[in-house]
């Protein structure tokens, strides 16, 4: 009899190594490799099970996505749930995963057939209480509470099931394994058997997964490879906005997202995202610029707000909420070197209002203009939007989907748009201002002739920048000095 081979498996990611290592070469975690006996493999036939087939002769997979009844969920899934598919839904605790799935289960039960909701975290009484609050009581919605894998597999054998939801995969355990519930071995075994059983029966299965503090799905990486679709449910627990994003989808693209709102009646679709984000906007305030973004395939207008204040300590603060902090640092450097706006001695705070998050480079121009407006105290035109990527040389670069962005801005009543010079889109209801670089964009969108409202940073005057960065004339006041004199009640004339 062949002697079993001993390998070392990482308890964090499941990677294997021939010998013990202090640090896992796959996930870089320390002291996670544990010995694991592997039986010697028996001799297997080397002949392939099936012959290769020309791709044009392969039969197409039948079936299309079945709508769930929740519009934004169907949008993220590319039409709905595909029969026989396995979907993994991940999100932080308290974000509303169970609420969303209970509403989805009730909708599918009313329109398609029986749905089984298996909760390993709550009792049936707790699930019923939530269902009553959400108006999800339906005779086709079956509820059970199980924590063992064998019991869950038994429930999967019920007849005429259209959909099965397991909440969650980390709280179901296989009694044959000695490891604790939620460990890498348990999650791998539970997920593998549930997916295999669902595929064999043609069941549509949804698994709920926990996430780590870094936002990644807890458990082995193989969990994401086993399923057909991975959905991420994101948002701020203290806010109302929720975003459903497809990270992986074997039946369609991952470019669509669903925008939802958490209310007392449950999760509801956001019919007009742009109107929602701009509903509380206060025009005429320095540091406010509207940017038309593309979220999935849908244009959404959001407000970028900036605040520039004198630094309190020796190290000025840079705070970015809803956008990349590294991108903000880059734009501040471009403003300094290419425009003349120096924020070295000032705290800079930039936020995307309404809890939205902007990650595309198309928001660069709006962020830079918001900082310039906040630093100089000059107000950007309330009827203007701005979009464009800013390069290190201060140039404005073309972005994708400009026609959809500007059409959405025109629909909401905006009258001016500042874009890179290479954009060739024209709209009758929108004045298109094309600029080659950031300095020109600041000139066109921020009126240097208007009176500054308490400027807070030391910037070179617009005349200096226009004349090739000539030295400041003796006795000329900076905009920061203008603001301090205005606070003391003196004249705001820069020569005073």
What pLDDT shows up at residue 225?
Answer: 87
436, 364, 348, 320 alpha-carbon torsion, rounded to 10°:
180
> Does 354 sit behind a cis peptide bond, omega within 30 degrees of 0 on the bond before it?
no
The answer, yes or no, to whether residue 462 has pLDDT greater than 60, is: no
Q: What does the alpha-carbon distance between residue 470 and residue 493 come to, in Å, rounded to a whole number?
A: 21
Q: What is the mean pLDDT of the chain?
A: 84
List the single range of 14-18, 19-23, 119-123 with lowest mean pLDDT. 14-18
Q: Which of 457-461, 481-485, 490-494 has the lowest mean pLDDT?
A: 490-494
**pLDDT at res. 468:** 46
**Token pair of 361, please?**
């480079």
Higher pLDDT, 46 or 203: 203
**pLDDT category, 446, cuts 50, 70, 90?**
low
Q: Rounded CA gap, 222 and 220, in Å? A: 5
> pLDDT digits over 296-322, tens only?
888 999 999 999 998 888 889 999 999
Which whole-number Å values give the CA distances from 317 to 247, 277, 376, 492, in the listed order? 33, 26, 18, 28
Most confident of 221-235, 413-427, 452-466: 413-427
Name the β-bridge partners of 163: 115
Distance of alpha carbon 321 from alpha carbon 399, whole angstroms: 23
pLDDT exceeds cutoff 80 at 377? yes
Contact by Cβ (8 Å): 167, 117: yes
Single pTM value for the model = 0.77
Q: What confidence tens digit (pLDDT) does each residue in 219-235 have?
A: 666 788 889 999 999 88
What average pLDDT does this structure show over 318-340? 94
Backbone angles phi, psi at 254, to 5 degrees: -110, 25
Residue 297 CB neighbours (<10 A): 12
- Write the pLDDT tens digit of every residue in 33-90: 888 776 665 666 666 667 888 988 888 765 678 999 999 999 999 899 999 999 999 9
Q: 245 has which bridge partners?
A: 232, 257
Q: Is the peptide bond before 168 cis (omega within 30 degrees of 0)?
A: yes
């Amino acid at each position: 009899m062949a002697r079993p081979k001993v390998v070392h498996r990482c308890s964090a990611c499941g990677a294997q190594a021939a010998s013990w290592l202090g640090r896992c070469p796959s996930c870089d975690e320390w002291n996670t490799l544990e010995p694991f006996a592997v039986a010697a493999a028996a001799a297997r036939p080397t002949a392939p099970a099936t012959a290769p087939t020309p791709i044009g002769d392969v039969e197409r997979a039948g079936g299309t996505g079945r709508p769930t009844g929740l519009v934004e969920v169907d949008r993220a899934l590319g039409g709905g749930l595909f029969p026989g598919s396995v979907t993994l839904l991940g999100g932080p605790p308290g974000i509303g995963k169970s609420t969303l799935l209970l509403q989805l289960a009730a909708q599918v039960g009313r329109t398609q057939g029986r749905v089984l909701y298996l909760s390993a975290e709550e009792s049936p009484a707790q699930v019923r209480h939530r269902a009553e609050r959400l108006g999800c009581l339906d005779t086709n919605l079956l509820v059970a509470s199980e924590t063992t894998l064998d019991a869950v597999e038994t429930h999967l054998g019920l007849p005429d099931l259209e959909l099965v939801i397991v909440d969650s995969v980390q709280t179901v355990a296989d009694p044959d394994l000695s490891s604790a519930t939620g460990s890498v071995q348990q999650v791998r075994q539970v997920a593998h058997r549930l997916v295999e059983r669902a595929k064999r029966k043609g069941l549509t299965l949804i698994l709920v997964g926990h996430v780590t503090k870094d936002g990644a799905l807890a458990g082995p990486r193989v969990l994401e490879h086993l399923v057909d679709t991975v959905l991420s449910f994101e948002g701020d627990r203290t806010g109302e906005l929720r975003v459903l994003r497809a990270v992986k989808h074997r039946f369609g693209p991952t470019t669509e997202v669903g925008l939802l709102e958490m209310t007392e009646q449950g999760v509801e679709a956001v019919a007009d995202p742009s109107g929602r984000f701009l509903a509380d906007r206060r025009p005429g305030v320095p540091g406010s610029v509207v940017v038309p973004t593309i979220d999935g395939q849908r244009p959404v207008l959001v407000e970028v707000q900036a605040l520039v204040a004198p630094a309190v300590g020796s190290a000025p603060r840079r705070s970015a909420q809803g956008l990349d902090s590294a991108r903000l640092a880059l734009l501040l450097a471009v403003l300094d070197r290419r425009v003349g706006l120096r924020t070295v001695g000032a705290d800079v705070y930039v936020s995307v209002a309404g809890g939205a998050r902007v990650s595309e480079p198309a928001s660069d121009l709006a962020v830079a203009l918001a900082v310039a407006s906040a630093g100089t105290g000059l107000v950007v035109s309330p009827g203007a939007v701005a979009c464009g990527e800013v390069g290190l040389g201060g140039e404005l670069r073309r972005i994708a989907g400009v026609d959809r962005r500007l059409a959405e801005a025109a629909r909401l009543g905006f009258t001016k748009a500042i874009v890179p010079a290479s954009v060739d889109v024209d709209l009758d209801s929108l004045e298109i201002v094309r600029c080659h670089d950031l300095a020109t964009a600041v000139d066109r969108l921020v009126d240097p002739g208007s009176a500054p409202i308490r400027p807070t940073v030391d910037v070179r005057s617009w005349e200096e920048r226009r004349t090739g960065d000539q030295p400041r004339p003796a006795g000329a006041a900076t905009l920061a000095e203008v603001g301090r004199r205005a606070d003391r009640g003196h004249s705001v004339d820069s020569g005073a």
